Structure 1
Amino acid sequence: MVAGGLVALLILPTACAAGLGARDGAHWFQSDPADLNTSGVPQLSRILAADGSTLATFFYQNRVDVPFDKIAPVARKAVLAIEDSRFYEHGALDSQGTLRALASNLGSGKVTQGGSGITQQYVKNLLLTQADNKDEAQAAKEISAARKIRELRFAVALEKKYSKDEILRRYLNIAYYGDGAYGIEAASKHYFNHPAAQLTLPEAATLAGVIRYPYAYDPTRYKERAKERRDVVLARMAQLGWISGPQQRAAAAEPLTLHLHETPSGCVVSKAPFFCDYVQREILTNPVFGETPKARERLLKRGGLTIHTTLDWQSQKAAQSAVDSHVPRKNSAHKAAAEAMVEPGTGEIKGMVVDRKLGSDRERGKTWINFAADADHGSSIGMQAGSTFKAFTLAAALENDLPFGTRLEAPRAFTPTGYRDCKGRNVSDPSHSLRNSADGEGGREFSLTTGTHHSVNTFFLALEREVGLCDTVKMAERLGMRQGNGKALEQFPSFTLGFNPVSPVRLAAAYAAFGARGRYCQPVAIRSITDAAGKKLKVPGAGCKQVMDKGVADAVNYVLKGVLTKGTARGMGIGRPAAGKTGTVDNFSAAWFAGYTPDLASAVWVGDPRGGYAHPMENLCMDGECYGAVFGATIPAPIWQDSMSGALEGRPAADFHEPPDHYFSKGTGEDRTKVPDVRGMKPSEAIARLRAAGFSVDMGGSVDSDQYERGTVADQSPGPGSSAEPGATVVIRVSKGKKKDKPGGQPTPPGFPPGIPPGQNPGQNPPGQNKPGRNGG
């Protein structure tokens, strides 16, 4: 009854101005307001790794909402003692406090005092935090009768809707405690580095004292003032009998001790900054998280989200260590490296690294650009992929049932004619010839197997024409490939040579599909998201689907395994079944390696952020180490080797499946022919014999020989009876006749045919012969 009378008196000036009687005004005041909304209080969002550890936090206000039983009872008492000791005794209005304000309000004709209790203070804070712009914020703070009456009306409605405990909990979670800490949980962690449930009496009194004037009593700036205020709270608690005199004196005797803990916002200080940034951009750019950019940003920075991601710390740390080791952050050549790791069969991104810190590139060793991601997830427009794209041509050929032993002529120079894109347009360019980058490649036949192992440009141009440019493009598209800027892949004859700019994460996901036996999954970084209320939100899925027959993928794996054992990346194995492909971009402007096991796929890029063509990696020296020309096997493959070895350490090894038998209808593609013995023959006869067996022939120098007559073949390499690939070159040397004794001469060691130098086994190619092609390698 007293409260009702007070309400009528408080709103009397406003009611009269509006032409309402006191009774009508009181009735309106007691009705439930239609615009009462207790949601939208800004809360801190967290990004978590797969193991639950925190990667980063995002907030508009550093606040973590906690339940009533997670707030220490002594903290609740301290706040009530200094702010509203009769909270559990009065309703929405504290009659005593309101009576004090009444005289002033009636005298001035407007509301100048309010006697606000906890419920009214909660309403005021609620309206302020819900403000979306400056005007709404100003309206929540202005000193006016309209604002005060609105707050009182909301307070009445809240007292009907919630229990006293719930209102107190909401108030403690919304109040500002100074120095950027909102809510008692964030404040406790900020000032004392432990949760609100563990607050001691002196700590609780400190926080309670800050609430009234957070800036004036900020303990980080005004420690003495904050201590004095703390002691006032302790005295009030003792006066109310809520603590004993000895408790008060003991607490007041303690110094105000802070254990400050900063809660940073954003990815800059994250231990996985570029993966964190990828997740952040996924939320800010994907319409599934809100119709507008503003709505999505509001969700991330105010929604109290718990974002569970796919990041695996073992993989992440292994990748970062490998990248930093081979391409240091502030290296003398200004080169950069990036790597993305994707799990086959799920599309989950297990690691994502750049050899830079996240930040402005005005400072050396930093960048805002995530070179591992596309433009929509990291501002990068992608980098030309080089010969890593040959894997898509290989897959298209195998899907067309070409066996491993399919052989095509690989000329030294290739004129691209006979190509049509997927719209049927002629995209040939007979005015430009394309070549191999490694001396000696081309000019002979290669199989699907050996052409891939040696990464021969002209072979793949011929293979692409054989299976069709469009089939190759569609294969790449089915495997999720698109340009880094989001546009469709461009279609020209050199498609197989990798002129399209792409991102490591997309390339890794494509190669992961080979490891998953043809099951492609879009790369994903988020497993689940729950909001502040614990409700699960919809997140983008990987959309996994079978994009090629398992047998085709098994055949791709069979061929690409050889790249690591006998091809351009030989020696880069990781101690378990693995496959991959090197990639070198024109003019050594960038280099790549993409490789995988059945359990993990990775793509590594190395290049120059200033522009690869302007700053090529030819005759590269970096931090005192010189590489000459950088191929895919020079720096990217060792990064891949180190990172994959570390990521998979301690995990059981899985093997690839054997490919279907029909791919072996023309042999393995590595079939080798025995080299005929042409020693003792005249050169013309020897050449004819070797060519008839499918070999090329080069003439070497003449040699002394006790065994073969002058003018006949005395030596050949590879040696007689050894096996070599069809089309390989055999070098023959003609006898000069018997060897003359010379002082200090070295006789031929026993067991070695004449003409083969010590240290080289019979049948072994001499240095410089039959080197694998390194284009893209």
Structure 2
Amino acid sequence: MGLLAGVLVALLVLPVACTVGVGARDSAHWFQEEPQDLDLRPSAQRSKILAADGSTIATFYYQNRVEVRLDQIAPIARRAVLAIEDSRFYQHGALDSQGTLRALLSNLNSGEVTQGGSGITQQYVKNLLLEQADTKAEQQQALALTPARKIRELRYAVAVEKRFPKDEILRRYLNIAYFGDGAYGIEAASRRYFSKSAAKLTLAEAATLAGVTRNPQAYNPRLHPGAARQRRDTVLNRMVELDWLPADEARRAAADQVKLKITETPNGCTVSKAPFFCDYVQREILTNPVFGKTAKERERLLKRGGLTIRTTLDPQTQQAAQRAVDRHVPPKNSAGKAAAEVLVEPGTGEIKGMVVDRKLGPDSERGKTWINFAADASHGSSIGMQAGSTFKAFTLAAALEEGMPFGTRLMAPVRFIPTGYRNCDGDPVNATTPLRNSADGEGGRSFSLVTGTHHSVNTFFLALQREVGLCDTVEMAEKLGMRQANGKPLQQYPSFTLGFNTVSPLRMAAAYAAFGARGKYCKPIALTSVTHSSGKKLKVPRADCEQVMDKGAADAVNHVMKGVLTSGTARGMGIGRPAAGKTGTVDNFSAAWFAGYTPDLAAAVWVGDPRGGYKYPMTSLCMDGRCYGSVFGATIPAPIWRDSMIGALAGREAGSFHRPPSRYFSRGSGEDLVTLPDVRGLKLSAAIARLRSAGFRVNVGGGVESEYPKGTVADMSPAPGARTEPGTYVTLYPSDGRPEPDPTEPPDDDPEDPFPDLPFPDGPRLPD
């Protein structure tokens, strides 16, 4: 029988060999040669993304497969597969003469390939060729019912048998076979259908899985339990026939219905608990040449390489941020607004959290978006958002880096004509359109570095930027990692300090993290390690931390911006530990920001409208029954930041900022308040001179009647003795003199007595 099988195989091999230019005499040699195109690389395996604590964020795969060793598969499962697929596997070579003869005779009689007769080795080869098919044509060729395909599989099987021992071939087959329902390999199938590892399969479960591979669709136990049960019983009976299983055990196993415990295996980021961070990591793999020369190579690595991708994500931080964002800007809110936040660790650049208030999915569905508003275009398709006054921190940093003390005062006019600026190429970049302060109405007086920052006065920062130099301000922002979200350099115009550049919350958080790290900037990173299924460690992007600011200057920035949370535009938003930050309100209330930090964690929050902030501004905003009026950085973004930081840092020791060098106090603290002198009773000219000499500006109001002589100061606002900043306007009210008495009023015997004597109707007056 073996000789007859060999003859029949030779007859089939000969025409196929001839088509590739091999003569009849050499056909046997050709068949025995190892094919040059034989690719025995490991089967495609799913990759997984892990958080910093080792918990799974997401999985990626073309084929849901988990490679296991042979000893990690229950022996009963191995016997069940061999019984129904190739009981003589350990006795024959690449070609099972008996099985092949039976199949070939049937195929010759019918004129086509109708019967398989393939052994485990040939089935492994068939699955391998199908898996490695990248095009539809290659897939069709791998499945074609032709003698040519069969001979190709036989030739490959011979090579496989030469290269590997039987146990290794069986292991490879059990890891590559398709078991239906998206499960490739017996381990993934066991987890899918029974929620357990293949090492713990029972007899009935093992027989069920062994029966599926012949026709994974027809015998799918989830979709077709009846057919799956019949097939399971066929496997059990075959094991009894081979004396591999006692009949009574087979009867007990066949007595029950197929019992399933289905486990879903998520694929991709849409079902992840951290979908936008997951998407960021996915894009990091798919766009970075470190992980492959071409996009196709990188995608293949991610979805077939069985990568273990360890990340920087902190679940506590992520959950706190997601709760905060969703609480203040619900995913399906009635106003159509959106919010995004990124949290970065100072000194390491590690991204600890990244959230958007929407689900990851098609924008056509309410409450979903494919755009990661938290990241740059390269990692989320976002074109970025104007940053508003959060950019003022870079002007402040440049000024302090140049040694300006806190008490440096500049006049902040109500309107500012932006002239006297040059970009980093030395070209003048001026304008004639006046810029003004935002709706807070500040301006018209002088401010210090401290008070100008606390009150976020636009015209003060325009004047400070001119004093420092536009280019110096731009270079400070660039040293702190700022670029436009589209990857291009920052644009340089006078309104730079007011935040017209479109940027991402990720870059803003990383920049502010550098302040918390005393001037050390780290590129934001999401990956800590990537390990291939082979055990090889792949190179990952590094934070490349660098000291870009003088430590003392960074300490000074922190000192000033702490006051924003205590006495500035975000007062009341403290988190119970040392913290600093800056509000940002974009022109026409088209968006709002808050960026803040501690020495341990930095975060940047954006709130706006994905449909376009200028078209849908946040003025008179009402959202889900709550009305805000006009939205500033302290209105919604700052509360999101506060709630996120409190939750993220809960249970963690609080860090503290360093005291800035004494040189920054050379002109005072910048917060010094002057006692307003009492000028009531002085002649108006003398009062004005005294107030001006004390550093105040003076307005004269209308005359009032008073006890003070006419022409002197009768009243003043603020009141005498008030503690206020130099440069504040003081309004004086001249006296018009004592009012003339009204002749119609009766005279009062004793004008000092407020209770005139009145008769008592019921008796004499009681003594005091």
Q: Same fold (TM over 0.5)?
A: yes
Q: Which residue matches 2:361?
A: 359
* 1:381-429, Cα deviation, whole Å (9 max, x unpaired): 0000001001111111111111111111111111111111111111111
C-alpha displacement at 1:508, in angstroms? 0.5
Q: Superposed, which structure 2 residues align to 1:620-769 within 5 Å?
A: 620-699=621-700, 712-733=712-733
Contact persistence 1:404–1:664 (CA under 8 A): yes
Q: Counterparts in 2 of 1:317-328, with a 5 A limit?
A: 317-328=319-330
Q: Quote the Cα distance in structure 2 between the aligned partners of 1:646 and 1:700.
A: 51
* Deviation of the 1:205 alpha carbon: 0.5
Q: Kindly report which structure 2 residues correspond to 1:282-431, keeping only aligned pairs within 5 A, or say none.
A: 282-429=284-431, 431=432
**Contact (CA 8 Å) 2:6, 2:97: kept in 1 or not?**
no
Q: Say if 2:22 and 2:30, in contact at 8 Å, map to a contact too.
A: no
Q: Which residue of 2 aligns with 1:566?
A: 567
- Structure 1 residue aligned with 2:236: 234
Residue number in structure 2 paired with 1:208: 210
- Separation of aligned partners in 2, 1:443 and 1:7: 102
Q: 1:20 to 1:594 in 2, by over 3 A?
A: closer
> What is the alpha-carbon distance in structure 1 between the residues aligned to residue 251 and residue 109 of structure 2?
43
- Aligned equivalent of 1:763: none
> Is the 8 Å Cα contact of residues 112 and 144 (structure 1) preserved in structure 2?
no
Q: Deviations over 1:5-30 (max 9, x none)?
A: 85564133432662866663223322
Contact 1:58/1:301 (<8 A) preserved: yes
Which secondary structure does the structure 1 equivalent of 2:582 belong to? strand
On the 8 A contact 1:388/1:594 being kept in 2, the answer is: yes
- The aligned residue for residue 476 of structure 1 is 477
Deviations 1:706-733 (A, max 9, x none): 7x55654454444444432211233445
- Kept after mapping to 1: 8 A contact 2:309/2:531: yes
Q: Secondary structure of the equivalent of 1:496? A: helix
User: Residue type of the partner of 2:611?
Assistant: R
In 2, Cα distance between equivalents of 1:537 and 1:54: 19
Counterpart in the other structure of 1:136? 138
Q: Which amino acid aligns with 2:466?
A: R
Where do 5+ consecutive residues of structure 1 fail to align? 743-777
The question of 1:118 aligning with 2:117 is answered no
What amino acid maps onto 2:724 in structure 1? A
Aligned partner of 1:493 in structure 2 is 494
Instruction: Name the SS for the 1:559 alignment partner.
Output: helix
Please say if residues 589 and 630 of structure 2, whose CA atoms lie closer than 8 Å, have aligned partners that are also in contact. yes
8 Å contact 2:112–2:145 — kept in the other structure? no
**Greater mean alpha carbon deviation, residues 105-114 or residues 419-428:** 105-114
For residues 510 and 377 of structure 2, the distance between their equivalents in structure 1, rounded to whole angstroms, comes to 16
SS in 2 for 1:363: coil
- Hey, what's the Cα distance between the residues in 2 that align with 1:623 and 1:101? 70
Contact 1:417 1:428 (8 Å CA) reproduced: yes
State the partner residue of 1:59: 61
| Contact 1:338/1:353 (<8 A) preserved | yes
Query: 2:85 maps to what in 1?
Result: 83
Counterpart CA distance in 1 for 2:437 and 2:589 is 13
Partner Cα separation in structure 2 for residue 8 and residue 477 of structure 1: 77
Residues in 2 aligned to 1:426 and 1:138: alpha-carbon distance in whole angstroms:
66
The aligned counterpart of 1:14 is 13
Q: Which moved more, 1:527-536 or 1:116-125?
A: 527-536
Question: Which letter maps to 2:651?
Answer: G
Structure 2 gap ranges (5+): 746-768
C-alpha contact (below 8 Å) 1:338/1:504 kept by paired residues? yes
SS at match of 1:571: coil
Cα distance, 1:671 vs. partner? 2.1
Corresponding residue of 1:460: 461
What is the CA-CA distance between 1:737 and the residue it aligns to? 6.8
> Which one-letter code corresponds to 2:729 in the other structure?
T
Q: Per the alignment, do residues 582 and 619 of structure 1 end up closer, same or farther by CA in structure 2, a change over 3 Å counting?
A: same
Q: Does the Cα contact within 8 Å between 2:5 and 2:98 map onto a contact in 1?
A: no
Task: Indicate if the aligned counterparts of 2:12 and 2:151 stay in contact, CA closer than 8 A.
Answer: no
In 1, are the aligned partners of 2:515 and 2:555 still within 8 Å (CA)? yes
Which 10-residue stretch deviates more, 167-176 or 547-556?
547-556
- The 10-residue stretch of structure 1 (665-674 or 305-314) with the greater mean CA deviation from structure 2: 665-674
> In structure 1, how many angstroms separate the alpha carbons of the residues matched to 2:648 and 2:104?
71
In structure 1, C-alpha distance between the alignment counterparts of 2:13 and 2:109, rounded to whole Å: 14
**How big is each residue's C-alpha offset from its partner over 1:262-293, in whole Å with a ceiling of 9 and x where there is no partner?**
22211111111111111111112222222222
Match of 2:763 in 1: none
CA distance, structure 2, for counterparts of residue 68 and residue 512 of structure 1:
49
1:221-280 deviations in whole A, cap 9, x for unaligned? 221111000011111112222222221111100111111222221111111111111111
1:306 deviation in Å?
1.5
Cα deviation code 1:197-225 (max 9, x no counterpart): 22111111000001111111111222111
What are the Cα deviations for residues 643-680 of structure 1, in whole angstroms up to 9, with x where unaligned? 11111111000001111221122121112223222233
Change (3 A) 1:560 1:5: farther
1:70 aligned partner: 72
Q: Distance in 1 between matches of 2:690 and 2:440?
A: 26
Specify the code of the residue in structure 2 equivalent to 1:182: Y
Give the 3 Å change call, closer, same or farther, for CA 147–504 of structure 1 in structure 2: same
Q: Which one of the candidate residues 167, 170, 180 is aligned to 1:168?
A: 170
Amino acid paired to 2:600: D
> For the residues of structure 1 that align with 2:571 and 2:146, how far apart are their CA atoms?
79
Aligned to 1:577: 578
| Counterpart secondary structure, 2:244 | coil
Q: Secondary structure at the match of 2:79?
A: helix
**Structure 1 match to 2:604:** 603
8 Å contact 1:703–1:735 — kept in the other structure? Answer: yes
d(CA) in 1 for partners of 2:260, 2:354: 37
Q: How many Å apart are 1:533 and its aligned residue?
A: 1.6
Shift of 1:476: 0.8
Provide the C-alpha distance between the structure 1 equivalents of 2:39 and 2:623, rounded to a whole number of angstroms.
61
Equivalent of residue 255 in structure 1, options 254, 257, 260 = 257
1:97 is matched with which residue?
99
- Give the TM-score of the pair, scaled to structure 1: 0.91
1:156 to 155, 158, 168: 158
Contact 2:2/2:98, CA 8 A, preserved across alignment = no
Rg larger in 1 or in 2?
Answer: 2
Q: Which amino acid aligns with 2:122?
A: Q
Identity of paired residues, percent? 72
Q: Distance in 2 between matches of 1:98 and 1:22?
A: 22
Task: Pick closer, same or farther for the CA change 1:296–1:469 going to 2, 3 Å.
Answer: same
Paired AA for residue 633 in structure 1: A
Structure 1 residues 4 and 297, CA gap change in structure 2 (3 angstroms): farther
* Residues in 2 aligned to 1:667 and 1:73: alpha-carbon distance in whole angstroms: 81
Shift in Å, 1:548: 1.4
Q: Secondary structure at the match of 2:583?
A: strand
Q: How far, CA to CA, are the matches of 1:324 and 1:12 in structure 2? A: 71
Contact 1:13/1:109 (8 A) holds in 2: no
Equivalent position SS for 2:138 = helix
Name the counterpart of 2:182: 180
- Contact 1:323 1:337 (8 Å CA) reproduced: yes
Structure 1 CA distance for aligned equivalents of residues 279 and 693 of structure 2:
62
Q: Aligned in 2, Cα 1:114/1:365: closer, same or farther, shift over 3 Å?
A: closer
Find the aligned partners of 2:347 and 2:138 in 1 and give their Cα distance. 49
The 3-state SS of whatever aligns with 1:567 is coil
